[in-house]
Amino acid sequence: MRNHQTISLLIIGLLFSIFGFVTWLNGTLIKFLQTACELNHQQASLVTFAFFISYFVMAIPSSRILNRVGFKNGMSLGLIIMALGCLIFIPAASARNYSWFLAGLFTQGLGLAMLQTASNPYVTIIGPIESAARRISIMGICNKLAGALGAWMLARLLLRPVGALQLQIEQVQNAASKESLLNELTQHIVLPYSVMAIFLLLVAIGIRISPLPDLKDNQDNVYNEATDRPLWSHSYLFLGAIAIFAYVGVEVIAGDYIIQYGTYLGNLTEDEKLQGFANYLTSITLLFMLAGYGLGVLLIPKYISQENALRFNVIASLILTILIQVTTGKFSVFCLAFLGFFHAIMWPAIWPMSIDRLGKHTKTGAALLVMAIAGGAVIPWLLGILTDKYHGDMRTALWIMIPCYLYLLFFATKGYRIGKK
């Protein structure tokens, strides 16, 4: 049984690595597409909107698909859908069509939603609920390590050409010459996404022939104290979904929009080192998250409960967000990056606190929580609107994170107990 669980967790760990690799490329894509497709802040924010809104669209259908075809087939199908999304980038780059890029991102998100719906409850119920945050933290390490690597690699492939061509594009007076330069820039995206599509298809085949077992319906009842209660009576589940919505929103801002923020502050202060350094800030934020996950694995639940860890990290994040507002330059950017450290434990804590004692409703509850990942679409989109409203003042627009943390503090102190018997 022990070896069986270890093999299963290794396979799921690979999937979490794929989640991270694909998801955290968005920070690089935002800056790349903003230049290549000549976008304002609100338009650029549609990168994360198109990607994360797909979770809301696909979560419930994913649950039904998984019930029909099983977890292994569903995971393979999700990977194939993701590969299709990557392939859409090829005609999008040829036409330099932003709508097609968004369609590719939306398609990738559809596949990821199916994988998330399958993998997160699997990790949660494969062992004791008290140590679920620890297991999810291990998965988080896989996720963020792959994300940091992916963001660094794509920044090298895409953002270095942006820097080299930016001056040329600004100096060109002829519209046809400018169009040619932008088309040349856009072609840099074809190779990495073609390679990614091939890799995802190979993993899909590997999952299909792997020894990973399907979860059976009766396994959902491991924590069956409340299996006879209707789903709507579990108020903490719905409050947890709102917590996931708020958390993913601030996580995406800290991870995906920090490149824009660093570039903005570098231009504002005429700090050329900060401008060049900004391209790698997503990777740095994810490395901070890795450190946070590592600490969570060591401390939870032996030394601190997942509930207390969540409270502490939310308060620390709130303090850092206030510091972002009242400081400038490298220190302000560092505060945004360091949020990654305190964000690390939030998902691993919120998830098991939200699906505890759901019994036969576990899969449906997991689907609702996956739907709430749409916070990564809505909250950054609002950030883009505010940034344009404040005439590009992104630092002021970051106040939108404060009400998110205040709600998370409510959930961590009281919300997770409401309706739990």
Model confidence pLDDT, tens digit, residues 262-281: 888 887 776 666 766 777 88
Residue 260 in tokens: 């824009």
Distance of CA 57 to the CA centre of its chain: 16
Residue 353 in tokens: 């606190």
Residue 239 binned pLDDT confidence (cut-offs 50, 70, 90):
very high
Look up residue 300 and give its two tokens.
Answer: 């939870």
Q: What is the rounded distance in angstroms from the CA atom of residue 200 to the CA atom of residue 189?
A: 17
Q: What are phi and psi of 25, to 5 degrees?
A: -75, -15
- Each residue of 27-37: pLDDT tens digit? 888 888 988 88
Domains of the chain by start residue, with CATH: 2-214+223-417 (1.20.1250.20)
Distance CA 382, CA 7 (A): 41
Nearest to 345 by CA among 396, 305, 386: 305
Which pLDDT value is given to residue 411?
Answer: 96
**Amino acid at residue number 145:** L
Both tokens of 28, joined, read 């690089």
For residue 173, count CB atoms less than 10 angstroms from its CB and return exposed for 0-12, middle for 13-18, buried for 19 or more.
exposed
* Residues counted in the chain: 421
- Residue range 349-374: mean pLDDT, rounded: 84
- Highest mean pLDDT: which of 168-177, 229-238, 390-399? 390-399
DSSP state of 345: T
Task: Please tell me which residue, 239 or 130, carries the higher pLDDT value.
Answer: 239
Do the Cβ atoms of 277 and 163 come closer than 8 Å? no
Residue 417: DSSP 8-state: G
Lowest mean pLDDT among 102-106, 132-136, 220-224, 341-345: 220-224
123 and 9 Cβ atoms separated by less than 8 Å: yes
Q: Please compute the mean of the pLDDT values over residues 304-332 and round it to a whole number.
A: 93
* Band (224; pLDDT cuts 50, 70, 90): very low
**What's the rounded Cα separation, in Å, for the pair 115 and 12?**
10
Q: Round to whole Å and give the CA distance between 158 and 259.
A: 13
Give 12 or 47, the one with higher predicted confidence: 47
What's the rounded mean pLDDT across residues 200-221? 72
Q: pLDDT for 104-136, tens place per residue? A: 999 999 998 888 777 766 776 666 666 666 677
Q: Quote the CA–CA distance of 308 and 288 in Å, as a whole number.
A: 20
| pLDDT over threshold 70, residue 75 | yes
Backbone torsions φ then ψ of 392, nearest 5 degrees = 85, 0
What is the rounded CA–CA span in Å between residue 372 and residue 52? Answer: 9
* In contact, 23 and 376? CB cutoff 8 Å: no
Question: Residue 196 above 60 pLDDT?
Answer: yes
Q: How confident is the model at residue 160 (pLDDT cuts 50, 70, 90)?
A: confident
- CB 169: neighbour CB atoms within 10 A? 16
Q: How far apart are CA 280 and CA 24, in angstroms?
A: 12
Give the sign of the dihedral formed by CA 108, CA 110, CA 111, CA 114.
positive
Read off the pLDDT band of 54 (50, 70, 90). very high
Q: How far apart are CA 77 and CA 82, in angstroms?
A: 9
Q: What is the pLDDT confidence band of residue 212, given thresholds at 50, 70 and 90?
A: confident
- Quote the CA–CA distance of 248 and 51 in Å, as a whole number: 12
Q: For the beta carbon of residue 300, count every other beta carbon within 10 angstroms.
A: 26
pLDDT score, position 102: 96
Nearest to 264 by CA among 44, 20, 36, 37: 44
Predicted local distance difference test score (pLDDT) of residue 222: 43
pTM reported for the whole predicted model: 0.81
> What is the per-residue DSSP string for 266-335?
HHHHT-HHHHHHGGGHHHHHHHHHHHHHHHHHHHTTTTS-HHHHHHHHHHHHHHHHHHHHH--HHHHHHH
**Spatial separation of the C-alpha atoms in residues 176 and 311, rounded to whole Å:** 56
Q: End-to-end alpha-carbon separation of the chain, Å?
A: 31
Alpha-carbon distance of 79 to 207, in angstroms, equals 9
CA 408 to each of CA 51, 241, 287, 305, 347: distance values in angstroms, whole numbers, following the listed order? 23, 11, 23, 16, 11
Q: Which residues of 232-252 are buried (b: 16+ CB within 10 A; e: fewer)?
A: eebebbbbbbbbbbbbbbbbb
